[in-house]
Amino acid sequence: MKYLLIILLLVLSGSAYAAGVSPQFANPEQQEAYETLTSELRCLVCQNQTIADSNAELAADLRRQVYEMLQQGKSKQDIAQFMTDRYGDFVLYNPPFKLKTGVLWLGPVAFLLIGLVIVFLFVRRKKAEATMPAHAEHGNENAEKLAKIRSLLEKGDPS
Amino acid sequence: MNLLMLKYILPLVLFSVLAVFLALGLNLNPSEIPSPLIGKPAPVFSAPKLQTTARDGGSVAIGREPMRPTEEKLSPADLKGQVWLFNVWASWCASCRSEHPILNQLARQKTAIIVGLNYKDEPEAALGWLAQLGNPYDVSIMDQDGRIGIDWGVYGVPETFVIDKQGVVRYKHTGPVTTDDVQRVFLPLIATLQAEN
């Protein structure tokens, strides 16, 4: 029980590790832009963290860059462009849709469609088997049995 | 019969495809991010030089004038018409230490100018490092707050760029340069670029 409590507390404490305190903006829109941008830009040193989450020095530098550019009145698009010009699309957690990233975006949809088609075909076959057991697998054997049953029905059971 | 064969062959084919993709994935280096700067003009900077001593090819002369930070500045425009390497380094960077002898050796061959970007470092520590390990750089410039680094898309020190005579970035190497890299990539590329106008 004690361990469970410790584990629970550790799990809940995750947010306490968020790197630094975000700077204050006079303008709430800028504040919002800062929060969104820093949570959408990847820290390239620790690639599974955003620059808002990361304690890496580079992340701190990039946060400073975002802050300064917002103070200069740059838009979110300007800043995202600034970052991709330097670090490539990989810096964006939400990569743009283009030829190079097409597989990334369409891949899951394609796999879902393939899966659905397979399920559909499978279900249809099972259904066909259920309604027409005679022709499903052992065609000839079953046909023979059927003929035997028919003849039995017609003539009546001799026994 | 055909259908039956398909039933056995299809999983095998699927497995093979998956195995090929996984094998490729295993051999990729996720920390190597292609630079969008390739083919673009070298980002502009104007930064103070770390020191002004001429290249001494790694042989540190003891008793020479001590190297110290200067007010002199360097920008890519000063290097127009020359092929140069731009090597990002720092005295706190462990893999720079393994790269350093290779740079010293490359510098001795005098195939291209080597410019150092002393990234987020203390000038004293950086100068001490060069005095101790040799100085392969024709010149090093200082980027104490990492702003030049951001402009060049630096995310992992050491990094090495190759810039042609027109001032266009032609190649980027992330991580320490090995002897193999020098032989296989850098020397041939430098030779090609030197032959260009």
Residues A121 and A79 in one domain: no
Range of the domain at A136: 101-155
B48 contact A CB<8A = no
Query: Looking at beta carbons, which residues of chain A come within 8 Å of B43?
Result: 86
Average pLDDT over residues B101-113: 93
Same domain, yes or no: A91 and A125 = no
Alpha-carbon span B119 to B134, nearest angstrom:
18
Specify the CATH number for the domain of residue A44: 1.10.8.640
Does residue A55 lie in a domain region?
yes
- pLDDT single digits (tens) A100-123: 778 888 889 999 999 999 999 999
Same domain, A74 and A111: no
A150 touches chain B (CB under 8 A): no
Predicted TM-score (pTM) of the model is: 0.72
CA distance B132 to chain A (A): 26
Residues A47 and A29 in one domain: yes
**What confidence tens digit (pLDDT) does each residue in B36-93 have?**
899 999 999 888 888 644 444 444 444 444 444 556 788 888 888 999 999 999 999 9
Residue A15, domain member (yes or no): no
Cα-Cα-Cα-Cα dihedral sign, residues A121, A122, A125, A130: negative
Do residues A49 and A74 both lie within one domain? Answer: yes
Architecture of the domain spanning B37-195: 3-Layer(aba) Sandwich (3.40)
Who wins on pLDDT, B58 or B19?
B19
Chosen domain end from A77, A96, A115: A96
CA distances from B165 to A30, B79, B105, B136, B187 (A): 42, 8, 23, 20, 16
Whether complex ipTM tops 0.85: no
Residue-wise pLDDT tens digits, A71-89: 998 899 999 999 999 998 8
Domain count, chain A: 2
